[in-house]
Chain A
Amino acid sequence: MSKKPAPDPARERPWPKLLKRPSVPMPRPGAQRSAEPIARGSEWTLSTLEKFDSALARHAQRLGLDTYPTQYELITANQMIDLCSTVGMPVHYAHWSFGKQLLAQERGYRKGLSGLAYEIVINTDPSLAYLMETNTLALQVLVMAHAGYGHNGFFKTNYLFRQFTQADAILDYLKFARGFVQECDERYGWPEVEKILDSCHALAAYGVDRYRRPGRLSPRREQERVRERLRFAEQHYKPDFAHLDAPTPTREEEAATAAANFEPQENLLYFIEKNAPKLAPWQRELVRIVRKVAQYFYPQRLTKVANEGAATFWHYTLLHELYDSGEVDDGFMLEWLANHSEVVTQPAYDSRSFHGINPYSLGFSIYRDIRRVCEQPTDEDRQWFPQLAGSSWNEAIAFAMANFKDDSLIEQYLSPKVMRELRLFLLRDGEEDRRHYDVRAIHNEDGYVKLRQALAAQYRLESHTPSIVVARAGDDTERALLLQHRVEHGRLLEAESAETVLKYIKELWKFDVVLEEIDAGGSRLKIHRT
């Protein structure tokens, strides 16, 4: 492509104008109003918020949105900063990395660099949503609709959350974890505790069971288990004979069979918790805590687009319902719409503010388009979504919320219209040419399917979290831990971070750790050692 060919009809762009802004339909001024506005202006009181909540509840129920009950907590900006620093959980064990978050956020907020996340919702039963006291009325109601109904409904119905998290047990479990970490701090000293936690945090992405449903969390049982374990260890403490308890050194054949029977394990932290040769019971317990917390957040990692999209769709829908029935006035609408459009902005790939695809924007577009296809299908939609066109949108949305995660949602529902609106295009960063990206597909007839598949693949976990498994462990005299990275498309691990992470793993395993990168054929491409 050194010289541009002369203009030819094939290079006619399939669109006439520059990128259109995503259109936000304005309120319909002439519509029938059945009620007076619940409140005017931007001031709010607890009782107006309650009135708004019951109005939202009425509309949500009418539209078929199923949610947990919600408890709203009114908090100050400082409390919000605190919350954000501990990944949104009101209770968490103490760790310096949360302090780092806190300091960064605080500074950003003080300097006015960044606003605060004005919605945090916690997947518990009843679900907890936070309202910040400095928000105006319109924003409070927006947060209530977004978090208290949108996210909440998603948490309640989505299959991943139903299957993987016990909404009602997480806060109690975190309380237990906080107590346990504190106790360890006192008994064993903070540097030791931090060493273990740091290592575990580096591996948190590999602390989840991806397919198996985890056992129920019960803080009380958990506590009893720990106490029992520690008591046993203390009662049977006999340093002189400790070597008798150690597993007898395996002979060659045994080792061979063990190696042959060893099944690769993908839950690294689980494997370490159960098999690390030299961890003390309390250290195993810490590993377990990090693992359980990671497991709780696992569905959230898989459903960023779906979750935020659903929440945004629902606040958009519910607030419009409020407007249509006359319960809010024009000023209210304009205020939250300004905010809403900021949230769903998708900067173009070459803009300075581009940080990847905005999950709010993508998710919102997808859900809104589902509704559009149901209500006003075009010929194109009939061809692409025959099952949706003309059906009830409430049911279609409920189904989409309940049964998909990011990649499957995109693969199923990303419509040509959304691709056109977002002007998506597919780039290839190939080994052949490191100085350029190839444009592989754009939003035209040939490109839709490719785009959709590629975008879906992009949201698969493996595409951003390299897949690592435990391939062999402790079957030789060195007791080394062998990890394997299954290389896809020749994408190796970033060497520097791999090395640091290996050091962290060694901190837990205490013996050598080897990480080899193998391709699909099983041949080794690269090896990292501690």
Chain B
Amino acid sequence: MNDRVGSRFMRIVDRRGDPQGRGAVNRERFIRRFKDEIKRAADDEFAKRSITDVGRGGRVTIPGRGLVEPHLTHDDQTGSRDFVVPGNREFLPGDKLPRPEGDGQGGPDGDEPGEGEGRDSFAFVLSREEFLAMFFDDLELPNLERTRFGEVTMERMHRAGYTRDGLPMNLLPAMTVRMSIARRIALRGALTDQIEELERELEEAGADRRTQIDEEISHLRHRRETLPFLEDVDRRYRARVARPAPAARAVMLCLMDVSGSMDERKKDLAKRFFVLLYLFLERKYGGVDVVFIRHTEHAEEVDEQRFFNDPLTGGTLVRPALELAQRVIDTRYGGPDWNVYVAQASDGDCTSEDGRLSAAFVDDVLLPKVRYFAYVDIPSSSGWFNRPSDLWQSYDAIEDPAFARRSVRGRSDIWPVFRDLFGRKQAA
């Protein structure tokens, strides 16, 4: 202890570069435990978000009741206690001062919660990932076929041990050399046995036989010394066999009506729906292709940016959009290994002729090609009370389990409808 200054142990370790997020494991546990509450809060939160914010993380507040960690405490309404507090300005012994309502003030233990959120709720911030995970937790693409259900399969190559022939790129040098060593050991042993036998014979044999045997022995010796390092039989290749694998490749075609009758409110609702859909697909199925088609009288395929942000007005024809969808499917997503989904959003304004043709087209042409066709109807808020839209009425003609339609009237409907359309169906 005397000479601490000189030989002092003193270190400053820079830990700033250490892997971050040591607390992540505890954070994850917290979210896991209060999943239901958090999900409910996240759902509420979603209804309030603007469209660009949907995918961001955010503040959620969950009821605080469940997360109290209880411990035994005294009930301040019973018994009597003496306690000391600071800051006396005016009191003399014998004075009385009013007892504050409830607890908190005046208590001797300083661990009462501060003002603000209080005990009833607990607010915290979720990251984008956590937020989306909460949203899409029990959602699925409906009718996504996998091998298990036996229909649509594609083949995937799998490793399956070794084989004696194959492509040079699949050659396994280490395995090949191992086989070569084994072959040489085996052959050398056999040759040695033969040589030894001949040598034994040599001792008893006559002169003429001797030269013959000598010759044979030297021949065998020569063979033994010159065993080839590699022969064809040594070669080993990776074996790959094709096994049927689930076809989880999927494409989603998003069809949106952007005609003049779609006012800003409706467009906002439609976009919200598609943003949600897009985030869902992006998160849940990394490999899902998304095709954006918007239409007025004409249909065009656009990129994500223009689909959500580019204003456009004009009349309405539904059918061209459906036809374009069909062309896209046929040219790019034909064949059995694609799961094709179509989601259509529209205010349902169309001529009756167009509606009829569209319904027929969906029923006859599109539905056989797709797994699921979801139609989201966004009726005018004004207009005839609760009258179904034209397109909605036209679609009445379609009866197919792969076809579903819902009506969205306000922001708060979007999430429930989305859940409804893509909720994990109870296994039939």
Contact = CB atoms under 8 A, between A and B. Distances in A.
Contacts of B105: 349-350, 354
B15 interface: yes
Contact of B82 (A103, A355, A427, A446): A427
Interface in B61-95: 67-95
A100 B107 CA distance: 25
A72 to B, nearest CB: 5
Given A79-B16, A455-B84, A69 B22 contact: no
Contacts, number: 302
B87 A349 contact: yes
A50 interface: yes
B427 interface: no
Contact of A439 (B1, B25, B94, B111): B94
B16 A69 contact: no
Contacts of A438: 94-96
B106 A69 contact: no
B168 interface: no
B125 A106 contact: yes
B150 interface: no
A500 B124 CA distance: 25
A442 B91 contact: yes
Contact of B86 (A96, A423, A457, A498): A423
Interface of A: prevailing SS? mixed
Interface string A462-488: 011110100000000000000001011
Interface stretch (A234-242, A320-328, A489-497): A489-497
B167 interface: no
Interface residues of A, number: 116
A151 interface: no
B27 A436 contact: no
A488 B80 CA distance: 9
B70 A497 contact: yes
A491 B70 CA distance: 18
A99 B23 contact: yes
Given A71-B11, A104-B122, A439-B94, A424 B88 contact: yes
Contacts of B29: 94-96, 98-99, 190, 194
A423 B79 contact: no
B97 interface: yes
A194 B68 CA distance: 15
A58 interface: yes
A378 interface: no
B92 A110 contact: no
B75 A494 contact: yes
A163 interface: no
B72 A498 contact: yes
Contact of B75 (A78, A126, A437, A491): A491
B93 A490 contact: no
A96 B33 contact: yes
B12 A50 contact: yes
Contact of A73 (B15, B84, B96, B122): B15
Contacts of A97: 30, 69
A54 B8 contact: yes
Contact of A103 (B71, B106, B124): B124
Contacts of B82: 426-429, 440, 454, 457-458
A120 interface: no
A96 B32 contact: yes
By size class, the interface of chain B is 35 or more
Given A349-B87, A498-B72, A79 B92 contact: no
Contacts of A126: 9, 11
Contacts of A446: 93
B83 A458 contact: yes
A86 interface: yes
B211 to A, nearest CB: 73
Nearest to A102: B23
A468 B73 CA distance: 11
Nearest to B86: A422
B18 interface: yes
A344 interface: no
A149 to B, nearest CB: 11
A270 interface: no
Nearest to A525: B78
Nearest to B97: A437
Contacts of A500: 68, 70
A495 B78 CA distance: 11
Contacts of B14: 46, 73-74
A423 B89 contact: yes
A75 interface: yes
Given A70-B10, A85-B23, A426-B84, A133 B72 contact: no
A466 B15 contact: no
A74 B11 CA distance: 10
A72 B5 contact: no
Tell me which of B26, B88, B123 has the highest count of chain A C-beta atoms within 10 A of its own C-beta: B88
A348 interface: yes
Given A19-B89, A356-B107, A489 B96 contact: no
A392 interface: no
A379 interface: no
A493 B78 CA distance: 8
A512 interface: no
Nearest to B12: A72
B86 A103 contact: no
B108 interface: yes
A13 B67 CA distance: 48
A74 B73 contact: no
A436 B98 contact: yes
Contacts of B1: 66
A57 B13 contact: no
B85 A425 contact: yes
A466 B5 contact: no
B80 A103 contact: no
A434 interface: yes
A431 B95 CA distance: 17
B88 to A, nearest CB: 4
Contacts of A447: 93
A263 to B, nearest CB: 21
B98 to A, nearest CB: 6
B20 interface: yes
B93 A131 contact: no
A74 B10 contact: no
Given A99-B23, A435-B98, A440 B75 contact: no
With a 10 A CB-CB cut-off, give which of A94, A100, A455, A464 has the most chain B CB atoms. A100
**A113, A427, A504 interface centre (most CB from chain B within 10 Å):** A427
B79 A487 contact: yes
B59 interface: yes
Contacts of A76: 16, 20
A54 B4 CA distance: 10
Given A95-B26, A492-B78, A349 B85 contact: yes
B91 A425 contact: yes
Most buried by B among A53, A96, A106: A96
**Which residue among B9, B34, B77, B78 has the maximum number of chain A CB atoms within 10 Å of its CB?**
B78
Interface string A59-88: 001000010011111111011011001100
Given A354-B105, A458-B84, 5 more contacts: A102-B26, A202-B70, A426-B83, A442-B92, A446-B93
Which 4 pairs across A and B sit closest by C-beta, in order of nearness? A348-B87, A356-B110, A99-B30, A490-B79
18 contacts: A11-B92, A73-B12, A81-B23, A103-B122, A202-B69, A347-B86, A349-B105, A352-B115, A355-B114, A427-B83, A431-B79, A437-B98, A440-B93, A447-B93, A455-B84, A463-B81, A463-B108, A500-B70
